[in-house]
Chains A and B, each alone.
Chain A
Amino acid sequence: QQQVKQSPQSLIVQKGGISIINCAYENTAFDYFPWYQQFPGKGPALLIAIRPDVSEKKEGRFTISFNKSAKQFSLHIMDSQPGDSATYFCAASLLLTRQLTFGSGTQLTVLP
């Protein structure tokens, strides 16, 4: 019930295209859904996050869409750039502890 499922495992997009990564969760007690970006040799860094009372959040080229009834959320990267090439992790956390349950990750490659 703590699991967060992420897809696809890998994604190749042309420069300027839209990258879409999807996640689904089971535990309805999760109340915070961040996305992390990780470059090789670095720790994960918060990209954008959403609470379940909001259906969409946009920050620059990054948008989270959240569907509470379906228990799904997704990351959209508009106008994808080669510099966006990294591994993206969705995550979910509980109010009490804030420990993060991560998805399995998506390796994004943006071709120039």
Chain B
Amino acid sequence: DSGVTQTPKHLITATGQRVTLRCSPRSGDLSVYWYQQSLDQGLQFLIQYYNGEERAKGNILERFSAQQFPDLHSELNLSSLELGDSALYFCASSVGQGEYNEQFFGPGTRLTVL
């Protein structure tokens, strides 16, 4: 158990809908990262937050957004869902940024868009 929790574990929804994925980082970790894992794209970095502020953006679609709250938990919002958004979404956390600190991954949320 990495100490990172993600809810829900599974999510099934329809095209055009909006969903929210939640992540609680390890105690004391200030950085949260979101990654998408799909068969065709592999594991891809989406976005990073550090202590409530956005720090880096990767291949994140405009339909997707995220935020990190004062208690350091993070939410990834996916809207106008398409079939191609079906994937595993992982949250990872680390102590800080700019250092060689390990990213601990959560168990993931499996999103299925029908």
- List A residues at the B interface (Cβ < 8 Å): 32, 34, 36, 41-46, 49, 51, 89, 95-105
Alpha-carbon distance A97/B54, docked complex (angstroms):
11
Chain A-chain B contacts (Cβ-Cβ < 8 Å), number: 62
Contacts from B to A (Cβ < 8 Å): 2, 4, 31, 33, 35, 42-45, 48, 55-56, 58, 90, 92, 94, 97-108
Residues A98 and B31 in contact, CB atoms below 8 Å apart = yes
With A95-B98, A98-B31 known to touch, is A43 a contact of B105 (CB < 8 Å)?
yes
Q: Which of B33, B42, B99, B105 contacts A45 (CB 8 A)?
A: B105
B2–A97 CB distance below 8 A: no
A100 partner, pick from B103, B106, B108, beta carbons under 8 A? B103
Residues in chain A near residue B35, CB distance under 8 A: 100
Chain B neighbourhood of A44, CB < 8 A: 43, 90, 105
B45:A101 contact, CB within 8 angstroms: yes
Question: Can you report 28 residue pairs joining A to B where beta carbons are below 8 Å apart?
Answer: A42-B107, A43-B4, A43-B90, A43-B92, A44-B43, A46-B103, A46-B104, A49-B100, A49-B102, A51-B100, A95-B98, A97-B48, A97-B98, A98-B31, A98-B97, A98-B98, A98-B101, A99-B33, A99-B45, A99-B48, A99-B56, A99-B58, A100-B33, A100-B43, A100-B45, A100-B103, A104-B42, A105-B43
Task: Tell me, in angstroms, the Cα distance from A45 to B58 when the chains sit together.
Answer: 21
